[in-house]
Amino acid sequence: MHYLIMNYALRIMNLKLTCLLESMETKITGAVALIRSMLTEGVDTIFGYPGGAIMPVFDALYDFDGQMNHILTRHEQGASHAAQGYARVSGKVGVCLVTSGPGATNVVTAIGDAMIDSTPLVVITGQVGAHLLGTDAFQEIDVVGITQPITKWSYQIRKGEDIAWAVARAFYIARSGRPGPVVLDIAKNAQLESIEYNYKPCTFIRSYIPNQEIDQNQITFAANMINQAKKPFALVGQGVVLAEAEEELKAFLQKADIPAAWTLLGASAMPTEFELNKGFLGMHGNLAPNLKTNECDVLIAIGMRFDDRVTGDLSRYAKQAKIVHLDIDFSEIGKNVKVDAPVLGTAKLTLPALTECIVATKHTEWIDTFKEHEVREHEVVIQKEVFPSTGEITMGEVVHKVSEATQNKAVLVTDVGQNQMIAARYFNFTQTRSMVTSGGLGTMGFGIPAAMGAKMGAPERTVCLFCGDGGFQMTIQELGTIMQEQIGVKMIILNNHFLGMVRQWQEMFFEERYSFTEMQNPDFIAIAKAYRIDGTEVHKREELDAAIADMLKDDKPYLLVVNVEKKGMVFPMIPTGAAVTDIMLGV
């Protein structure tokens, strides 16, 4: 009897031990839960920089080699801009992983940039342990407080059991509706805690309605307005690209024969050679679309937000026109411009619904009126900028030659300034998701890391980065990332030894008082060589074609420095505070 009791007790102990071991096997750390959750969300590439408060996650990454590609940048700002570039060309959510304190504050610029440019981004920051919060511990900073105004959602995770839930919610918010950045601030103890892991993708959040149901009454009202138009004109923004509605856009425009122009971020939503594409809107846009904005009778805004760089003086903007506005974000409709026919919803659905209701027609006479302005701009501005026969090399001819050499198939990435506007004007596009630039925030230093991310997001495509000599030096350390990862970015510096756009304003509006804009630059090619990146510097026009061909001969990283005219100008130009009809072709 005693033997049977002992045997039974032993079996119970063994059963309990087995259950304990099985329980331990099903538990993982919060750091591992974070990585598994990201893998479930389809993340294959992240950009980051390690540090103490995020160390458990980087340690866990060690065991996921081959499942997730981590790109070690040389600065957290580089990591976050690279994640933006990756998101813009791939259509996926960009992911950035950094530590607390200065690591977190170094990504704030990119978060703000992503918010205003509607880029889906998940930024993960480390944080001190929950028991230290509020004590001014080493590298503690209020990440949520700092980022809440410039994110779709900013959340602090203090317990490991909340990680999977928060990640699912973060990716859903970042990619749905109007995309944007989300921040997850993860306390160190949450990364270390042993938890039971159960991941459930998020598909619904109460009170968050990313996609509105299409209102047929809105569609019908807008369609009637378009059907009555004699001079309709469409303005195309990035919302078309984000909605993957490029084909729907073309079908809409072609059915009603509507000429269209694009915003800076809407570049590549239509192929350059599309018959109804009338060019670039805004401050440095084309002459015809800016003038025609104030001549059309119905203005159809599609996935754009009437930014001040597009509208100029609002009191003199399209006052003669009825306004139809298609947008996914209710807060944008009527915010800057009074709208007569709002159409709320994703362009992927609203454009086909509208196309079905509009009448097929032709507006040949109206479209022909664009031609005289196109000819004038070509004679006064484009011929001299893109096809000069004498004088110094111009920025426009460099951009045009590079675009032609890639058969207009490359991804264009720009920094900010004259290089950005010239590139937008003279680079041509044959496919969508081919423009990566900092639009709303205008972030100098965006170019190099964004180009890295773009190449990682579309490795099969040629990525051409245009920078000024000023912006290039703001994130020049990322040449180290390019070297280590052998990221085949083609970098072109338009070197005029000035902060070019500021100098242009000083020349035009500040009596040529060039206050702190002239730059003494280093030997960029020598710096590239130190990073084991090939390159060449061009001083003469006759050297340019061969240099471009050499740059594009393979898929390796390359730096091309082109010394352009020091006081080159970007025209046309609408001065700040002027109307779109006050556009200048020169000084």
Question: Nearest to residue 451, comparing CAs of 478, 484, 417?
Answer: 478
Burial of 280 (0-12, 13-18, 19+ CB in 10 A): buried
Active site residues: 76, 138-139, 188, 501
Task: Give the separation between CA 85 and CA 120, rounded to whole angstroms.
Answer: 10
pLDDT value at position 496?
Answer: 97
- With 80 as the cut, is the pLDDT of residue 222 above it? yes
Task: Indicate the residue type of 532.
Answer: R
pLDDT value at position 19?
Answer: 37
Is there a contact between 411 and 454 (Cβ–Cβ < 8 Å)? Answer: yes
pLDDT value at position 587?
Answer: 84
User: Yes or no: is domain 393-565 CATH 3.40.50.970?
Assistant: yes
Task: Give the separation between CA 66 and CA 73, rounded to whole angstroms.
Answer: 19
Give the residue-averaged pLDDT of 452-481.
98
pLDDT value at position 7?
Answer: 55
Give the residue-averaged pLDDT of 292-302.
98
409 phi, psi to nearest 5 deg: -105, -5
Alpha-carbon torsion angle 49, 55, 56, 59, nearest 10: 70
Q: How much of the chain exceeds pLDDT 90, in percent?
A: 95
Give the residue-averaged pLDDT of 475-495.
98
- With 70 as the cut, is the pLDDT of residue 536 above it? yes
pLDDT value at position 17?
Answer: 41
Task: Give the separation between CA 460 and CA 457, rounded to whole angstroms.
Answer: 9
In the chain, residues under CATH classification 3.40.50.970 are: 28-196, 393-565
As a whole number, the mean pLDDT across the chain is 95
Q: Which residues of 28-39 are buried (b: 16+ CB within 10 A; e: fewer)?
A: bbbbbbbbbbbe
pLDDT value at position 5?
Answer: 47
pLDDT value at position 22?
Answer: 38
Which helix (H) or strand (E) segment is 489 a member of? strand 489-495
Is there a contact between 92 and 86 (Cβ–Cβ < 8 Å)? Answer: yes
Q: How confident is the model at residue 26 (pLDDT cuts 50, 70, 90)?
A: confident
pLDDT value at position 331?
Answer: 95
- With 50 as the cut, is the pLDDT of residue 3 above it? no
Question: Taking each helix axis from N to C terminus, what angle separates 246-256 and 347-357, rounded to the nearest 10 degrees?
Answer: 20
Give the residue-averaged pLDDT of 42-58.
98
- With 50 as the cut, is the pLDDT of residue 256 above it? yes
Q: How confident is the model at residue 212 (pLDDT cuts 50, 70, 90)?
A: confident
Q: How confident is the model at residue 23 (pLDDT cuts 50, 70, 90)?
A: very low
Strands (E), 188-249: 194-196, 232-236
Task: Indicate the residue type of 89.
Answer: V
Strands (E), 85-162: 94-98, 121-127, 153-157
- With 80 as the cut, is the pLDDT of residue 12 above it? no
For domain 28-196, give the CATH superfamily: Thiamin diphosphate (ThDP)-binding fold, Pyr/PP domains (3.40.50.970)
Average the pLDDT over each of 20-34, 114-128, 153-167, 483-497 and give the range with the smallest value.
20-34
pLDDT value at position 4?
Answer: 44
Burial of 523 (0-12, 13-18, 19+ CB in 10 A): exposed
515-528, pLDDT tens digit by residue?
A: 999 999 999 999 99
pLDDT value at position 550?
Answer: 98
Q: How much of the chain exceeds pLDDT 70, in percent?
A: 96
335-353, pLDDT tens digit by residue?
A: 999 999 999 999 999 999 9
In the chain, residues under CATH classification 3.40.50.1220 are: 216-369
Q: Which CATH class, in words, describes the domain spanning 216-369?
A: alpha beta
Give the residue-averaged pLDDT of 411-434.
98
Per DSSP, the chain holds a count of helices (H) and strands (E) of 25, 20
pLDDT value at position 11?
Answer: 52
345-387, pLDDT tens digit by residue?
A: 999 999 999 999 999 999 999 999 999 999 999 999 999 999 9
